[in-house]
Amino acid sequence: MLTDFFRLDGKTALVTGAGKGIGARIATAYAEMGADLILLARTETDLEAVANEVRALGQQARIFSCDITDETAMAATFETLHNEFSQLDVVVNNAGAPGKGFGSLAKVNKKRFEHTLDINLSAAYGLIHEALPLLQAAPNAAIINISSAMSWMVDRHMAAYAAAKAGLDQMTRVLAYELAPKIRVNGIAPGAIETPATAFITQDPGRLEETVRWIPQGRLGQPTDIALAALYLASSASGFMSGKILEVDGGMAALPGSAIQSQIPQTKP
């Protein structure tokens, strides 16, 4: 049956930023479709909660509480993974944040700019580098990089984050070419998604109304919307897709450029 193409039975997937929001939902979606999970995030209690959901779905879960920008911690994590696992079928680079780079050009210096690049771009590259031998050991592996609508949108105070996510998109395309045909590399660019990180929108009726105004679908996205795209890209259903960025943004990318505004509040940094 066609639905069998979306199954992940017997596969092992690693998800960063897996403690809450989009990362947590991707993890549980993969578990629902038969995958075992390796979960990375900074907060152990969050990871344990998601791991319990995975186990309740009948799948195995291994957690690592670590900062993906900490090279020593990541090296130790992958040393353990190389000892415990023979292969990795899916890697999802989901962890990311505006970090210290949110602010005007006058306020954000080079160090703060590089902090945001490290979180959203350099750390993703480093994780793929560490995971490569395990990915190469899998018959048909997939890498999924979670980007952002800010990779193509324009907004004040977001130069560092936008540059990092645009770089992630291009890195996705280049690695898709470099790692073909055995490893597919794709990305997802979410729009405004309802997660703990966007509580400042959902808890302010005026800001929520203004945000939704620029989304043709008339609502914020849900983590499940992104998880379903990530399921497609991880499964054999997307076996002929590589080097692509899926824009899951409720239609924002279809708006005329002059009409587009982001969900980021116009506050002084």
* C-beta separation of 192 from 223 below 8 A: no
Rounded Cα gap, residues 243 and 179, in angstroms:
10
Bridge partner residues of 37 (DSSP): 13, 61
Phi-psi region of 136 (alpha: psi -120 to 50; beta: other; left: phi over 0): alpha
Q: What pLDDT, on a 0 to 100 scale, did the predictor assign at position 32?
A: 98
For the annotated catalytic residues, the residue numbers are 161
Return mean pLDDT, the chain.
93
Q: Taking every pair of C-alpha atoms in the chain, what is the biggest distance, in angstroms?
A: 57
Q: Which residue intervals of 62-148 are DSSP H helices?
A: 71-84, 110-117, 123-136
Query: In this structure, what token pair is assigned to residue 58?
Result: 């009948």
pTM: 0.93
Q: What pLDDT, on a 0 to 100 scale, did the predictor assign at position 216?
A: 92
Rounded Cα gap, residues 55 and 75, in angstroms:
26
Q: What pLDDT, on a 0 to 100 scale, did the predictor assign at position 167?
A: 98
Rounded Cα gap, residues 4 and 38, in angstroms:
23
For the chain (269 residues), the mean pLDDT of every run of 10, in chain order, is 95 98 98 98 97 98 97 96 97 94 93 96 98 98 96 90 97 98 97 88 88 90 98 98 97 66 46
The 10 Å CB-count burial string (b at 16+, else e) for 30-52 is bbbbebbbbbbbeeeebbeebbe
Q: What pLDDT, on a 0 to 100 scale, did the predictor assign at position 256?
A: 63
Rounded Cα gap, residues 38 and 54, in angstroms:
10
Nearest to 188 by CA among 35, 23, 53, 24: 23
Rounded Cα gap, residues 123 and 128, in angstroms:
9
User: For the chain, first and last CA: distance in Å?
Assistant: 52
Place of tokens 């945001």: 116
Q: What pLDDT, on a 0 to 100 scale, did the predictor assign at position 257?
A: 56
Cα 224–Cα 227–Cα 229 angle in degrees, nearest 5: 115
Rounded Cα gap, residues 191 and 217, in angstroms:
11
Rounded Cα gap, residues 21 and 206, in angstroms:
23
Domain boundary assignment for the chain:
2-249
As its CATH architecture, domain 2-249 has 3-Layer(aba) Sandwich (3.40)
